[in-house]
Amino acid sequence: MDQKGQIWITKSLSEQQRACAQNSGLEVKEIALTKIQYLDFPQELPETEAWIFTSQNALKKLSQTTFTGRVYASGKQTANALKEKGFETKSGDSETALSLAEKIAKDGIKSALFFCGNLRRNELPEYLTKKGVQLKEEVVYHTLLEPKIIPAQKGDALFFMSPSAVESFAMINEFHPEIDYYSIGETTANTLRKKGVKKINKAAEASFEAMLEQYTTENK
């Protein structure tokens, strides 16, 4: 296909993701707006009925693979990463953290441990707290904002894979209607809406590959 404009990716891609872009015949430009700092995974964890993960980043240094309780994951990629470590997971009806919280409450969980980052969003903790779930948190990674100027022009596309990337972009860039904005999921899309973006192309599922497919569909 003939690419309409430049595709700007606001995070560093894995080799597999780069290969996917090349196989799609698309040229992409990476400008990472955030940086992940992984922390040592805690050796001693409190007893709880469930573990909760809403990001692959939270299990980067997960070494403990024995847990008798339930494991909940938001998003297919996070669930797949946990499966590779030997965990069976439960998920919500959609790939949002709020949907996962609703599933946890519906299952009657009374206590849970949430593995998260320093910039974790409030939807899941607030919902579970209202439902009477005793929720403890373990911060296992830090998200550092690294804003950079992105010289996007009319017809270009910006891919956002996290709300923090949107926040980082907005620190020194402006959103323009002649730029196409792509979101990996509903949470990121909501952050874009709060910045005044009216039209958002949201991937069918939360993955870079799905975003590329969405872009291809929109630009046939």
Q: What is the pLDDT of residues 130-185, one digit of tens each?
A: 999 999 999 999 999 999 999 999 999 999 999 999 999 999 999 999 999 999 98
Residue in 115, 79, 81 with CA at minimum distance from that of residue 95:
79
Q: What is the DSSP string of 17-36?
A: HHHHHHHTT--EEE---EEE
8 has a pLDDT exceeding 60: yes
User: What's this model's pTM, rounded to 2 decimal places?
Assistant: 0.85
User: For the segment 38-78, what is each residue's pLDDT rounded down to a tens digit?
Assistant: 998 888 888 999 999 999 999 988 876 678 899 999 988 89
Q: Give the residue ranges of DSSP H helices in the chain.
A: 15-23, 76-84, 97-106, 123-130, 163-172, 186-194, 208-218
The 8-class DSSP code of residue 41 comes to: P
4 has a pLDDT exceeding 80: no
pLDDT at position 191, please? 94
pLDDT at position 65, please? 66
Taking the alpha carbons at both ends of the chain, their separation in whole angstroms is 7
Q: What whole-number distance in Å separates Cα of residue 99 and Cα of residue 12?
A: 28
Confidence band (pLDDT; 50, 70, 90) for 205?
Answer: confident
CA dihedral 195, 198, 203, 206 (to 10 degrees): 20
Mean pLDDT, the chain, rounded, equals: 91
pLDDT at position 176, please? 94
Average pLDDT in the 16-31 region?
A: 90
Residues contacting 95, CB < 8 A, separation 6+: 74, 75, 76, 185, 186, 205, 206
Helices 163-172 & 186-194, crossing angle to 10 degrees? 20
User: For the segment 72-109, what is each residue's pLDDT rounded down to a tens digit?
Assistant: 999 888 999 999 888 999 998 888 899 999 999 999 99
Q: What whole-number distance in Å separates Cα of residue 170 and Cα of residue 182?
A: 15
pLDDT at position 64, please? 67
pLDDT at position 185, please? 87
The 8-class DSSP code of residue 98 comes to: H
pLDDT at position 2, please? 58
